[in-house]
Structure 1
Amino acid sequence: MKSARTAARALTASALAAMVVLTGCSAAKTGEPAPQSSGGDHELHLPGDYSGEGPGTLRSAITLPTVDRRIIRASEVAARISYVSTSGIDGSLQTVTGSVFEPLGSPPEGGWQVIVFGHGTVGIHSDCAPSLSPSLSGAADAIRALLLLGYVLVVPDYQGLGSTTGYHPYLDATTEGYNMIDAARAARKLLPAASDKWVAFGVSQGGQASWAANELNAAYSSPDLNLVGSVSVSPAADFSGLADLAMAGALTPQQSIAMVLILTTLKTEHPEFNLDDYRRGGAQANWTLLAGCSADSTEKRLDVASSLSPDDLRPASEAATDQLRTYLIQMSGLPRSQAGVPSLVLQGDQDQLIPVAWTDAAVQRACDMGSVIASFVAVGRGHGDFDPTEALDWIQQRFRGDPPVSTCTIEGGPSIRKVPQLTLPE
């Protein structure tokens, strides 16, 4: 029979593996009465701390009556929330939605430890939000498994997803980082038994979000929260190289889809931006399909992207390429400053969306800035296509307060290639 420790590790590994693939009502909690709204007949408005006005303010919390029943059975609270966060584009306050899940049972001393999970790309339209999906965009198994291990799970939708009050600034690292931090703040206002300790964990777009949250946290967060680490799996840290790949006609199908989402977002942010300088042929004819929610027509979208010619997303001129590159640097360009707490970066060396060389370069810059970072590359694996056991041990170490491991100065670093994967010291 497996020991409890071994079983827990296997369960958690299964949970994070499910997250990586992403790309009856709960009992009410004590606190102030929740504000009333015109929700559906099966929605229960939950009590919480709705005071305040600034970033991290909890605006609403309702049960998730249509969420996967496996989550309902494993949770004391399964809620869709709205909260206040900050736009990284113009600094304005924005209402952001997300999901919060609290485990069953009595919390341990110090409260339930919190994982804020940054999801991968789900699309750029409001109805693409994970909180509107019964399976949380494919993360239901992962959430259930981590709930059973005693973690509070918080899944921000990101600004503009799940809300009709604004657009989604796709892959804007600053906005996503703020959204992650404010989700942790808002969750504690709903769940009094939540610990002040939290980890930012993200995949792909979410990997960018967790990386940014680490850099932004010290200056932006509130003193009653304690970020202990960030995990970025296949992070979109710096993808400015997409401009040159587009000009060379060398985008992969996955990169082509991402480019359509990026260009659509840039057009929203900059009305003068000329989309026709960057699209033609099959890309232009199938623009609506390519820019749709990731869960819709997935195979057809990939088939269309695979059939595009090198010219279909090629910038019309060097000037257009330079303009695109400038925007991409503004959106990503991580790292921008020294990370406040230890970080872990995981990626496969066969990634067809974010080339491993781009992440290696970002990790090296982070090391040069003085960040404490451990970076590992799974040889032969693709975008998030690897066993995330390293992340599990590492997260547990951060919550315990163990000394962090850095690969910045060790032989073969700063990004270590390993097959099979390395088990980090405990």
Structure 2
Amino acid sequence: MRRSSVTSPAGWASKIFAAVAAVALVFTGFKLLPLAIPAATWLLSATYNSFSALQGPPVPVQTADLSGSGPGSLISTTTMPAVTQTWEGRNVRAARVVYRSTSGDTGAPTVVSGSVFTPLGEPPARGWPVVAIGHGTVGIDGPCGPSLSPWLQGALSFVAPLVDRGYAVTVADFEGLGVKGVHPYLDARTAGLNMIDSVRALRHTFPGQVSSTWAAFGHSQGGAAAWAANEQAADYAAEMRFIGAVAAAPAADVAGLVDLAEAGALNNEQRLSMAMIVESAARRHPEIDRDDFRRGAAAEHWAVLTACQGDELLQRSAAAGKLTGDDFVPRTPQAAEALRKLLQQWALPQRALSGPLSVWYGGADGYLDEEWTRAAIAEACAMGGTVTVQLEPDKGHSDVDLGSQLTWLLDRFAGQPVRNDC
């Protein structure tokens, strides 16, 4: 029988790092998302979905408990043959879940989707411990959800080694991705609640087999989500035992992008993100007008810049090369202030931490200014909590030291002491 182990030697974390290195930039960051690899991922997914249809459709998970009605309760859960028929997914038990969650913006109930995984073997006596993964930017439209991709938009190469080691894993799609709705891009509070509820959904999918002990791990958009999940875990999900979170290059506070846009100083990475920020915000907030933030090549190629699939995605690299900083200069100070105010409302930290937090960030990050992250960390420390900080001055946004961060996370399961850099 396969048993879970909570020991976490650095050598094993390095093996996970090697397994995911080829796709980490796609899964976790902005840098490569608009370019060639996600386009290739979409083409492979489309081809594989056609093949997978010949292998049989998804079917309901028989063990699932659909009787609940609160956050994390299931609306539906089905098998994922397109995932388990891949080489990486051959040793995992996988389910796509549609479950109830909560908007961090309004507190209103929502419906979100995601994917959940356990090992194939017999669970340990207390159930499989859980790692909730927060994915990086994959897009802002419903079809962009990782649970709709056989490779989870690259995340499967991160999921599979964790499952092989004896952990259950969740990958929340985040509100508006994977199901109908509007995705509140970079609203970390909402994404954090979606991550917490994905753990509940996992436990309802495989009752009695999954532990209540869980941790969170994310990068970029997902890094902010993991941070927000940490802040909200104690109050929102007191029935579960939260032990810590890794926030790698977290998009904790991006309000400074508006200042750069006003100065015409957005770089290539920031321009692509700004297009998604503006489009997502305009869909939910009537005070945000797209045309106040796009002109020239940005206006001409707007649909291409915010796409996550199809021919438009294949055109993104060429379109991105035509952008300039002037294409995103707000038309009026009032327009700039409206967007800045919204991003400030979403910025982290929001409250004291529920458990230890590890923040990794790079001093050469082309997307997130080092000072933005440093300030967010200082505020989190002032609010109270344990924060381990790893700044690598020469590393960029996607150059995450996954080995050290996984070691830190898995040491939380092993009960090892944690360094506090506050």
Q: TM-score range by the shorter chain?
A: 0.7 to 0.9
The 5 A counterparts of 1:11-410 are: 11-15=15-19, 17=21, 20-21=24-25, 22-23=27-28, 42-46=57-61, 47-67=63-83, 69-75=86-92, 77-164=93-180, 166-191=181-206, 192-223=208-239, 225-293=240-308, 300-331=315-346, 333-408=347-422
Change (3 A) 1:302 1:254: farther
Amino acid at match of 1:406: N
Distance 1:15 1:54 in 2: 37
Amino acid at match of 1:373: V
- The percentage of aligned residue pairs carrying the same residue is 42
Q: Residue deviations 1:291-324, cap 9 Å, x none?
A: 1117976674244334322221001122222222
Distance 1:296 1:55 in 2: 37
- TM-score when normalising by structure 1: 0.86
Distance 1:55 1:303 in 2: 42
- TM-score when normalising by structure 2: 0.87
Change (3 A) 1:297 1:374: farther
CA contact (8 A) 2:76 2:97 kept: yes
Distance 1:328 1:221 in 2: 26
Amino acid at match of 1:171: L
Question: Matched residue pairs, number?
Answer: 385
Gap runs ≥5 in structure 1: 24-39, 409-426
Q: Residue deviations 1:100-135, cap 9 Å, x none?
A: 111122223422111100000000000011011111
Change (3 A) 1:85 1:348: same
Q: Residue deviations 1:231-283, cap 9 Å, x none?
A: 01110000010110000111111111111111111211123432211111110
Q: Residue deviations 1:362-403, cap 9 Å, x none?
A: 111111111210111123211121331211221122112222
Distance 1:5 1:335 in 2: 31
Distance 1:15 1:87 in 2: 34
Change (3 A) 1:182 1:15: farther
CA contact (8 A) 1:254 1:305 kept: no
Provide the secondary structure at the position in 2 that maps to 1:127: helix
Distance 1:383 1:295 in 2: 26
> Which of the pair is proportionally richer in helix?
2
Provide the secondary structure at the position in 2 that maps to 1:202: strand
Amino acid at match of 1:321: A
